[in-house]
A and B are shown apart, each in its own frame.
Chain A
Amino acid sequence: MSEFFHQYFDFTIMGDHFSEVLEGFFKNLLLFAVVVILALMWGLILALIRQLPGKKFAPLRFLTIAYIDVLRAIPILIILLLISGGIPYLEFIPKDIRIPHWFGQPDPFWYSVLGLTMVYGAYMAEVYRAGIEAVPGGQFEAARSLGMSYGKAMRHVVVPQAVTKIPAPMLNEMISLLKDTTLASVVALGEAVLVSREILAESFNSSAVILAGAMFLVITLPAARLVDVLIKRNQAKVSRGAHIEVA
């Protein structure tokens, strides 16, 4: 038992390597920040294309649904490995784009951004869609009957109402995203898990890995509580007779 504690909770090792692991964790946060902005936009675009009406847009709708389904169905790990191992070979793309070194970040960072945005765009598209579909149809019809175009009705009436329904499920996606940034270690991005595993290899002690886990807890645990608060608040609205809650 004491060996177990020594192996996982050696505070000397945690203290000695705190700044290294923290630096790695900042990489996770940076990756998260970039991806969350891009994925929120990409997800909204996907969700809106998916809602486009009429026969004219059927092929586009089909493609979008296929994209969302496929990307949600493949492990992110595989997507990251395919991107980092595949894109550099596409010689018709200029080298600076194929192997990007933008804003002082190396290519593994940008491969991770691309992979996570592709997948989380699909996840978030589903959240948006649930929000849009939860806005009662009468709202859209009323907007149209007031003479608004489809685009205006969506922009001014449906989407603003949809957005109020999604914070809780969206926050859940963000918590998952923050945790999934650790997958970038497979493409050798120096984030918290990679750094702490490196320390494990040097010291044969797992305490740094625990330390990395603790750093995630500091962010994700309050966030999980916040999700609950948001859900409660939404339920309170519903019980006062407001709109139906988003699943």
Chain B
Amino acid sequence: MRKTRLAAFFAVLLLALASVVVAGCGGGGDSTSSGGGGETSSESGGGEPLSVGSDIPYPPFEQGKPGNYTGFDIELMEAIGEKIGRTPEFQDTSFETIFRDVAQGKFDAVISAATITEEREQAVDFSNPYYLSEQAVLVKEGSDIKSLEDLDGKTVAAQQGTTGLELAKEELSDSEIRPYPEGPDAVNALKAGTVEGVIIDAPVAQNAVEKSGGVEIAEKVPTEETYGIAVAQGETELLDEINQGLKEVEQDGTYKTIYEKWFHLEPPKEIESETHEAE
């Protein structure tokens, strides 16, 4: 008898706990949806709307709720739109079909952290690169390691499935390379001293330097990857306009402001001189 009562007590306790958890989660969900992203899209551009496809979310490039999208790509596109007198209207879409859709005219342009590749250029035309993907070598503060080469032969961490891991495998043949499931795990291993360096996306590394401390960026390594804005093939007029807008945004400092806002880093100098021939 006593045993059943005890069991019943625990059952009630568990049930109560579960309901508290469920209620908590519900509350959390509500608050995030009502909070919403910060900036609203600028209404100022005026002129003809420009429909832009993007695969949202992919923070910090694109994020936020419909009608309230924000992020590096979004703000950059809005700034470009302002220069060329078009108001971008963002459409959330899936990345697998994004190039086919822009080629077929579903949107005028695509800005979606899209790397310029030969394959994609078969289907669309790309603007000049607006973002250079950089990898950072993250080390402990005051470490002797000053560059990627210095890490050869050392124990190095990276995140599974990332460009950083590929870079480590290619460049550091004598190293023991540890692929952690998540970026922060790799940074923690560095802080704990079980690895001597981490190779990871520069914005992520910068975030770790600011928020966690005790680590510093030894070197930034540019990769071959550059991001571009895509338009349908043959839309040379629009492409020229976008390139012109991008150039103006870069020259008047708007680009730098947006870059620093989203990545907490100085933009690489090369970006201004990078051009790209649409094929």
Residue ranges of A at the interface with B (Cβ–Cβ < 8 Å): 84-86, 88-89, 99, 106-108, 185-186, 188, 190, 194, 197-198, 200-202
B178 and A188 form a contact (CB under 8 A)? yes
Contact of B192 among A84, A197, A200 (CB under 8 A): A84
Contact of A88 among B155, B160, B194 (CB under 8 A): B194
A106 and B155 form a contact (CB under 8 A)? yes
A194 and B194 form a contact (CB under 8 A)? no
B189 interface contact, C-beta 8 A? yes
Which B residues are in CB contact (< 8 Å) with A194?
Answer: 160, 179
Q: What is the predominant secondary structure among interface residues of chain A facing chain B? A: helix
How far is B192's CA from A99's CA once the two chains are assembled, in angstroms? 9
Known: A85-B188, A108-B178. 4 other contacts (CB 8 A): A85-B192, A88-B193, A107-B194, A201-B160
Chain B residue nearest to A197 in the complex (CB): B160
Which A residues are in CB contact (< 8 Å) with B185?
Answer: 186, 188
B176 interface contact, C-beta 8 A? yes
Nearest chain B CB to A212's CB is how many angstroms away? 15
Residue ranges of B at the interface with A (Cβ–Cβ < 8 Å): 155, 157, 160-161, 176, 178-181, 185-186, 188-189, 192-194
Contact of A99 among B157, B160, B180, B193 (CB under 8 A): B193
A198 and B179 form a contact (CB under 8 A)? yes
Nearest chain B CB to A99's CB is how many angstroms away? 6
A201 and B161 form a contact (CB under 8 A)? yes
Which A residues are in CB contact (< 8 Å) with B181?
Answer: 185-186, 188, 197
A188 and B161 form a contact (CB under 8 A)? no
B189 and A188 form a contact (CB under 8 A)? yes
Given A186-B181, A186-B185, residue A106 in contact with residue B176 (CB < 8 A): yes
Please give me the 7 A-B residue pairs with the lowest Cβ-Cβ distance, nearest first: A201-B161, A188-B178, A88-B192, A188-B180, A88-B193, A107-B194, A88-B194
B176 and A89 form a contact (CB under 8 A)? no
How far is B181's CA from A51's CA once the two chains are assembled, in angstroms? 42
A-B contacts, 13 listed (Cβ < 8 Å): A84-B189, A84-B194, A85-B188, A85-B192, A106-B155, A106-B178, A186-B181, A186-B185, A188-B179, A188-B186, A190-B178, A197-B160, A198-B179
How far is B176's CA from A190's CA once the two chains are assembled, in angstroms? 11
- The winner among A85, A86, A186, A188 for most chain B CB atoms within 10 A is A188
How far is B211's CA from A76's CA once the two chains are assembled, in angstroms? 28
Which A residues are in CB contact (< 8 Å) with B178?
Answer: 106, 108, 188, 190
Contact of A89 among B157, B160, B161, B192 (CB under 8 A): B192
Chain A residue nearest to B159 in the complex (CB): A201
How far is B119's CA from A184's CA once the two chains are assembled, in angstroms? 38
Which A residues are in CB contact (< 8 Å) with B176?
Answer: 106
Chain B residue nearest to A86 in the complex (CB): B192
How far is B165's CA from A197's CA once the two chains are assembled, in angstroms? 13
Which A residues are in CB contact (< 8 Å) with B193?
Answer: 88-89, 99
Chain A residue nearest to B161 in the complex (CB): A201
Which B residues are in CB contact (< 8 Å) with A88?
Answer: 192-194
How far is B176's CA from A85's CA once the two chains are assembled, in angstroms? 19
Nearest chain A CB to B123's CB is how many angstroms away? 19
How far is B214's CA from A88's CA once the two chains are assembled, in angstroms? 15
B160 and A198 form a contact (CB under 8 A)? yes
B161 and A99 form a contact (CB under 8 A)? no
